[in-house]
A and B are shown apart, each in its own frame.
Chain A
């Protein structure tokens, strides 16, 4: 369905007189981006998700500086705030106070606000980078397979099937488990190594998800007239890919990246639960939630489950909402 034209406005000054003085504005078609944006603006849920995401990202970036400068303290114990018989924080809601707006964690009394904010760094970093990796590989493979066809397509298709057949979770478990058994590898150690492995495993094995979709889109796009037009003007493969196809793929790429990120956040949390992945005392959301759930803190300190649980839940919801909104906004057929 074509977008409606802007109504004629006879009042203001003209930008570029096309029909003399009778028209107020230039009539021109809106690009896909503009159409999508105006649709997105009307979707309150998606906007809400977007705002939340922006807030989280700002929070994560800020937390880097705040933690370095000492304002956020993830490591100091405050055992005076803990009830020594139950290991639960004293006071209501997990020890909320002016000094600790989100309370403290059980047994050690570390500040929860700091830990949650610093933890966002890990969740966002890992899921963003892994998604980036998936998207880059997936797009390249998908476009190449869709555009060139033939045996290239067959090989890439087969590769995608192999990757999809891999029991991803098992694989991630094995790889992270093995790498953590060695203390340092490939020049990294400790947290850096774990993060690198997680990003690699999550990102590298998820590329077929994007790859399939991009391939499908490419297949349909390459038959379109503008591609023929470019080719008839002498454009060669790479030029066509870069200038004609890719801009039209930005939409689906954006949508599916946004939908892939929350899956990756949950995946990382699952790996923490299974014992590979980031471990305490590193304050990753997944590690904290896994600790809270495995040790059944809900009965003595529910806040310890709620805080990282909500952090994960809200961020995942936000990305899903934004992704859904983007998909609806970019879909030419949605009303």
Chain B
């Protein structure tokens, strides 16, 4: 066995040596100080979390990405995946975007197409943005405010039959929710949405139904990236979205992939955020996941676009060899793995019974089930993960002090709730996710130690939220008191994370995300208050308050703050993890050879 490993390592070195990375100490990069700290640094394990690795202004070359499946869409109005929101900024610039720096500062919003953050009216119902002057599409035509308005009109918000995949926040928060969509718009210039005004070619005004302090986050989504009405091809737009960013589409095949080349109409002067370093970017679809890892390690691929980390075998190789480890980052993804404790399924309607579960669980087993400390993540003690605005350290049930669970305390809680000998309950999990099933088994085992008999029911991922766990009727009928799940915010603050999963008014009869079916009027009121609080620290404090209130109510059993082990090809420059998306920032990259 050892011999095989040596051979494998030698071969990997042979491969990497083509990039002069092996055996030469440091790799590429100009302006690097020798150590691990300071920006522009040399590669090191986790260097990309707080620093920019391989900082360089070198231009030229080709960047190659791969995906293990096909994207939901490259049409900015029709996509709902974090990696596409990150990547699509290269051809679809929204009004605002996240600051392209590593660390906490990367959660701030900065102007992109707009000149600044939104100007709010006195009553909080109108938000105004001004476009920078001289912006152009890839064909040289000017970008106007009407193009931004049209982009929203044609997106999932109002035209779900043509663009079914994206989020629908605008439809929820703006006035005129019954607008029939750009394709059924009968007005001559297709500007029929009354919720958005375009008084002049560089001004966009959004009208809201209620004040919403987080509105700037909504306009940072790709759906505000402008689309010229004359060039909109609807369902086919994804094949060649008209670019407003540094790159444009040169080819697209729905089964094989697409290629981006430089957009000559883009100018760095109008875009302090993105960089245009490489000549060409290739994205290949449907490459086997383990194969992506092999190619990353032997240097023929630059980055995995999906951003969810390498598979088991590559992880073992990377963590087992110091040399490879310097090219890896264990990024916090902003995702929380948790179990919802449904408040409508007896006896979990009693808070002490729920607390018993919180104490009984063996946190280490749960962490292992999701992949251990590096591939799975850190043991979670709050609902908000550390990269979300509103997170504050707190550990109400002493998870960190008793990582294997506290059966004594659990039993005393059971006494309090009137079930001293335990009870029976069912756990719902997605059967085609081995980690989730393992985690459910861990819960089952731990609960068994305090007399709670739990049965695991498995359901398919595709309909888990539409028909099973996300259908309160089904949950009640089948006594599913514990529901496994995971959640990532659509924007990184407490409201973006908590509203859909904690607001009692967000409970739906199908497709429900508030799995624990909590409806706490005090909590709902706090959520509302946060949308009306205009000062940022005030909002942050409210989010922390909500988090702690929910934990105190034991409606959610947080398990792991998800992490992903990412690998960067040593040839790639300006690599770092953006906390906004929990993966590498794709708008700054270059290639060094």
Contacts and interface: CB of A to CB of B under 8 A. Distances in A.
Answer whether A and B touch in the complex at a CB cut-off of 8 Å.
yes
Interface of A: 75, 77, 79, 84-88, 92-93, 106-108, 180-183, 190, 275, 279-281, 294-300, 302
B562 to A, nearest CB: 16
B529 interface: no
B312 A295 contact: yes
Given A86-B315, A183-B460, A295-B312, 10 more contacts: A77-B368, A87-B312, A87-B315, A190-B431, A275-B432, A295-B311, A297-B313, A299-B4, A299-B5, A300-B316
Interface string B453-484: 00000111011000110000000000000000
Dominant secondary structure at the A interface: loop
A24 B28 CA distance: 95
5 contacts: A77-B438, A85-B374, A87-B315, A299-B8, A299-B317
B326 to A, nearest CB: 15
A125 to B, nearest CB: 20
A87 B441 CA distance: 19
Size category of the binding interface on chain B: 35 or more
B319 interface: yes
A152 B459 CA distance: 45
Nearest to B442: A77
A297 B312 contact: yes
Interface string B346-374: 00000000000000000011001101111
B317 A300 contact: yes
B437 A299 contact: no
B126 to A, nearest CB: 45
Contact of A296 (B313, B369, B441, B463): B313
Contacts of B8: 299
Contacts of A107: 312, 368, 371-372
Interface in B410-462: 431-432, 434, 437-438, 441-442, 458-460, 462
Q: Chain B CB within 10 Å — which of A77, A294, A299 has the most?
A: A299
Contact of A190 (B315, B375, B458): B458
A282 B369 CA distance: 15
A181 B460 contact: yes
Nearest to A303: B1
Contact of A86 (B311, B316, B368, B373): B316
Contact of B320 (A86, A180, A298): A86
Nearest to A301: B316
B368 A299 contact: no
A104 to B, nearest CB: 13
Contacts of A279: 431-432, 434
A330 to B, nearest CB: 44
A272 to B, nearest CB: 12
A107 B431 CA distance: 18
B9 to A, nearest CB: 10
Given A86-B320, A181-B463, A296 B432 contact: no
Contacts of B437: 280-281
Given A84-B372, A84-B373, A108-B368, A294 B316 contact: no
B316 A281 contact: no
Interface string B297-315: 0000000000000011111
Contact of B460 (A84, A180, A294): A180
Contacts of B317: 299-300
B18 interface: no
Contact of B468 (A183, A294, A298): A183
A107 B438 CA distance: 11
A75 B441 contact: yes
A180 B432 CA distance: 9
A180 B311 CA distance: 25
A85 B288 contact: no
B289 interface: yes
A109 to B, nearest CB: 9
B434 A294 contact: no
A281 B438 contact: yes
B287 interface: no
Contacts of B434: 279-281
A85 B330 CA distance: 12
B289 to A, nearest CB: 7
Contacts of B371: 107
A298 B434 CA distance: 20
B313 A299 contact: yes
Contacts of A77: 365, 368, 438, 442
Contacts of A106: 312
A295 B314 CA distance: 9
A279 B459 CA distance: 13
A93 B320 CA distance: 18
A294 B288 contact: yes
A183 B368 contact: no
Contacts of B468: 183
B274 interface: no
Nearest to B461: A181
Given A107-B312, A299-B313, A92 B1 contact: yes
A181 to B, nearest CB: 5
A92 B311 CA distance: 23
Given A87-B315, A106-B312, A299-B4, A294 B438 contact: no
B365 A295 contact: no
Contacts of B375: 87
A181 B365 CA distance: 29
Contact of A87 (B1, B316, B463): B316
A103 B463 CA distance: 37
A77 B320 CA distance: 23
